[in-house]
A and B are shown apart, each in its own frame.
Chain A
Amino acid sequence: MTDVLDSAHATGVSFDLTDEQRMIVQHVRDYCRAEIAPLAAQHDRTGEFPRAQLRGLGELGLLGATIPEQWGGAGLDSVTYALCLEEIAAADASVAVIVSVQNGLPEQMLLRYGTDEQKARFLRPLASGQRIGAFCLTESHAGSDAASLRMRAERDGDDWVLTGQKAWITSGGQADTYLVMARTGGPGARGVTCFVVENGTPGLSFGKPEEKMGLHAAHTTTVGFDGVRVPDAQRVGAEGEGLVVALSSLDAGRVGIAMQALGIARAAYEHAARYALEREQFGRPIAEHQAVSFKIANMAARIEAARLVALKAAWLKDQGRRYSKEASIAKLLASDAAVEVTRDAIQVFGGNGYSREYPVERLYRDAKVTEIYEGTSEVQQMVIARQVFGEFRG
C-alpha cells in the first residue's frame, strides 16, 4: 500500500541496525574487500568461475544466509542478508548474482515446498555452502511469459522423464543442484511441476557459457535434458504446482537483485566521488564544478531511495507480510538507479571511465542486466500496476 495509514508504515520506524546486524555487515564488508574485490577485474577478463570466493562465503554462512541452522544455514533475518548482498555486489557483481540465486531461489523453494527428506538431502548441502544451486525456468521461447514453457516431464512408474531445453541458467554447468520447472499437464500455469535434478544425472548437458556484456564470472548456459530420469521423490511441491513454487521465491529473488543492483551502484558512486575530488580541471577538483557535483548528489539520492524500499521489502518478509509489490518496486528502482549511476560514473571519469584500467566500465556492463533478469523492468511495472489496480478496485 502506498497509503501511510497502512500498518506497514504505522509501526514505530527505526533505521538503526541492531548491534549484531552492524557487526555482521562490517565483517562481511571486510571479508569482501579483502577476498573478493581484488579479483573482480581479473575474473571479468578471464571469465573464471569464482569457486574460491564462493567457498569462503559458504564458510561464513552466506550461501544459506536466511535458512535456519537446522538445515545448514546461518539463520539470518532478511534485512541483514540483504545488507550482506549489497556488500558482496559492491565487491563483485558476478559473485553476488550467484549468491543471490542460490539463497533466493532454489533454497527458498526447498525450504517452503520441500519434504524433510528433500531438505536433508538437497537443502542442507546448498545452505552450508558445499553445493551450488541453479534455477531453471526460462526457455528460449519462454522468458517473461514463463507460463508458456514447453519442457516436458512424463511419468514413468515411480519416475519422471524430463525432456527439453532451458536457457539463460545462472551457474549452468557449475552448479550441483538444479530446480527445474517442466510441463506435466496441459498448457498454462497449472500444467507445470518442479523437480530437483543433480548434476551428473544421465541425459543432463550444458551449453558453453554465453558471451555476455557483463557478469563474466557468473556463467550462464543452456541446460539440456535428454530423457533425464528422476524418481518421484525429487518432485518439489504438488503436481501442477510448479509455477507457484517457482514464483513464490521470485519476490525474495527480486529483493536480492535489488541489493545486487545497489551494491553495483554504490561501488560506482564511491569511485566517482573519490575521483571527482582528485581530478583537477580548470584549476580545481572537478567535484567543484557544479555539473559534476550534481551528478554525485543525484547518485547518492537514487541509491538512498532505492535502498530504503529494498530494505522495507526485506523487513516485510521478516514480518511474514506480503511484500510482492515492494519487492517489485525495489527491483525496478534499484536496477534503474544502478544503470544510471554507473553510466554517470563513467561520465565523471571522462576518458578514463571508458578504459578497462578503471572499474566503472565493468560496473556499467554488470549493472545493465539487473533490469532484465528475475523479471524485466516492464514485468515489475506489470506486477506493480496489477496490485495497484487491485487495491483501487477493492
Chain B
Amino acid sequence: MKILTLIRQVPDAEARVRVTNGAVDLEGATLVMDGMDEYGVEQALRLREGGADAEIVALAVGPRRNEDALRTALAMGADRAVHVETDAVLDPISLSKVVARIAQTEGIDLVLVGGQQADWDSQALGAATAERLGWPQLTWTNGLQVQDGALTGRHDVDEGNETFTATLPAVVTTQQGLNEPRYPTLPNIMKAKKKELRKDTLDQYGVTPLVRVVGAEIQARARMNRVIDGKDPQAAAAQLLELLRNEAKVIA
C-alpha cells in the first residue's frame, strides 16, 4: 500500500512572531514540523513496522523552507518526499485540491493529515480532501491499524470514543495521543539527504488561493505580571481565589 502523509511547517512554540507590512513575518523564527503531522509520519512508520507492506510519501505544499520539515520526515523513515513549492498562502480548501490530486496520481491508499494545524488552527483539510476524493474520513484518531486491506482504529467524537473499521482508500486525521513520535537518529538524518525529494510547482495543479490575507495583527493581552509565591500551597491557593474573586471578578 501507499501512504501519503502531509507535512506542514509551523513556528516553534517558543518562537517570537512579528507582523511586518500587514503579514505575519517568520524571518528568523525557528520553524518545526507541525506536531500533528509528526503523529501522521510516526503512524505511517508504525503501520509499516506492524507488517503492512507500505511505501511512505511525505508531502508539503509551501515555501522553500518546508524542505527542512520534509527532510525531518525522511529522517524519521519516510521513503520519499514531494514538495509543491509556492510562496502563496493556501486556504485549506485550495490545499485539499493539491492533496487530492497527488493522492490520485500517486495511487495512494491512505492519506494522513493533522487534525488541526498549530498555526492557523483550521480543521478543514482532512474533511475537504476526503470530500474531493469521495473517500471515507476518520477524524481525531487515537488508534489505527491496517488488517487485510482494511483500517481499524479508535477515534474521538463529541459523545466519547468510537471504535471503527473502514475500507481503504481513506483519509485519517491525527491528534495528540495517537502515538509518541520518534526522534530521527543521526545516521538517518544524514541518509535523508540522499532520499528523493521531488519538486513540483503550484501551477502544475492549477490551484490559486481562494482567500487572500490583507492584514494581520498580533493579539496582545495586557498582563498583570503578578506572581504568587508558591512556597505555602494553601496560602497561595487562598490568595489566588481572592484575586480571581475580587480583582479579576471571574468567580463569585
Contact = CB atoms under 8 A, between A and B. Distances in A.
Given A23-B71, A23-B72, A60 B193 contact: no
Given A19-B71, A60-B186, 12 more contacts: A24-B190, A26-B68, A27-B72, A27-B75, A27-B186, A27-B189, A59-B183, A61-B185, A61-B187, A65-B186, A74-B187, A76-B186
Contact of A75 (B75, B187, B192): B187
Say whether chain B's binding surface is mostly helix, strand, loop, or mixed: helix
A74 B75 CA distance: 14
A11 B129 CA distance: 53
Interface of A: 19-20, 23-24, 26-28, 30-31, 56, 59-62, 65, 69, 74-76, 84
Given A23-B72, A23-B75, A30 B189 contact: no
Contacts of A65: 186
A19 B74 CA distance: 14
Contact of B185 (A19, A23, A26, A59): A59
A69 B191 CA distance: 12
Contact of A19 (B30, B187, B193): B193
B190 A75 contact: yes
Interface in B62-78: 68, 71-72, 75
Contacts of A56: 183
B193 A20 contact: yes
A24 B30 CA distance: 14
Nearest to B30: A26
Contacts of A24: 186, 189-190
Nearest to A74: B186
A346 B231 CA distance: 22
A30 B72 CA distance: 12
Contacts of A60: 183-186
Nearest to A31: B183
B146 interface: no
B187 A27 contact: no
Give the size category of B's interface with A.
Answer: 10 to 19
B118 interface: no
A62 B30 CA distance: 23
Contacts of B189: 20, 23-24, 27
Given A20-B193, A23-B72, A30 B185 contact: no
Interface string B65-106: 000100110010000000000000000000000000000000
Contacts of A28: 186
B124 interface: no
B164 to A, nearest CB: 32
A24 B184 CA distance: 9
The 10 closest A-B pairs by CB, nearest first: A61-B186, A74-B186, A61-B185, A74-B187, A24-B189, A31-B183, A20-B190, A23-B189, A60-B185, A20-B193
Most chain B C-beta atoms within 10 Å of own C-beta, residue among A19, A28, A84: A19
B238 to A, nearest CB: 22
Nearest to A75: B187
B166 interface: no
A54 B32 CA distance: 25
Interface string B164-196: 000000000000000000011111011011000
A259 B25 CA distance: 33
Contacts of B187: 61, 69, 74-75
A69 B184 CA distance: 16
Contacts of B32: 30
A76 B185 CA distance: 12
B183 A62 contact: no
Q: Which of B30, B186, B189, B192 gathers most chain A CB within 10 Å?
A: B186
Contacts of B190: 20, 24, 75-76
Interface in B188-208: 189-190, 192-193
B38 to A, nearest CB: 11
B183 to A, nearest CB: 5
* Most A C-beta atoms less than 10 A away, residue of B71, B185, B189, B193: B189
A62 B193 CA distance: 19
Nearest to B192: A23
